[in-house]
Structure 1
Amino acid sequence: MGLISKRKNKKYSYKPRHYEFDGDGSPFAMGHKFDQFRTTVGENKGLKGKFKTAMADLKKSDKNANLRLLVIIALLVLVFLFIIGFDLSIFYA
């Protein structure tokens, strides 16, 4: 123990005995198991890049799923309009 120099921390190399990886990468790396399949995870793009990626995913996705989503949204809007008492007679002459 020196009075002038600061005490140095003890160092040791810790290698875990059991972990999921078979020697590939760090066992302490945190990542979701589906990150490799996502297009939105990765480098931080700007707003334009995020929008382009979202549009590409939308075009690539299943057409039946898109139609189903539109039908669900339309039904929810109609239920909301019915609950608030919206009068549809303003659209008729």
Structure 2
Amino acid sequence: MTLYDQWIEHGFEVEHTPGVSRSLIRVETNGDHFLLTDSGGYDIPNDDGPFRIMQLSRTGMLIDGPTNFHNRLALAAWLRRRSSIAIPTDPRM
């Protein structure tokens, strides 16, 4: 299973604006959401990164980020403190 498949399996959805960007979005139970892209901010990240993520409130206000990570472990550690879901970037899964 690819990392992309794991993100989808864990409740992330692809948001695509043709000609502009693709990202993975996860909405938490409280309405906050995470936006995950490659380091440039315009495409879905490769399996091994780099990654850029930000956390937004349900009203669209920036809570944290954008933050860049060069590997999955760093991304997993950042998400673990903020998300209510299992982290698909954790290689122990």
TM-score bracket, normalised by the shorter chain, equals under 0.3
Q: Which has the higher strand share?
A: 2
| Structure number with bigger Rg | 1
Higher relative contact order (CA 8 A, sep 6+): 2
Q: Which has the higher helix share?
A: 1
TM-score of the pair, normalised by structure 2: 0.24
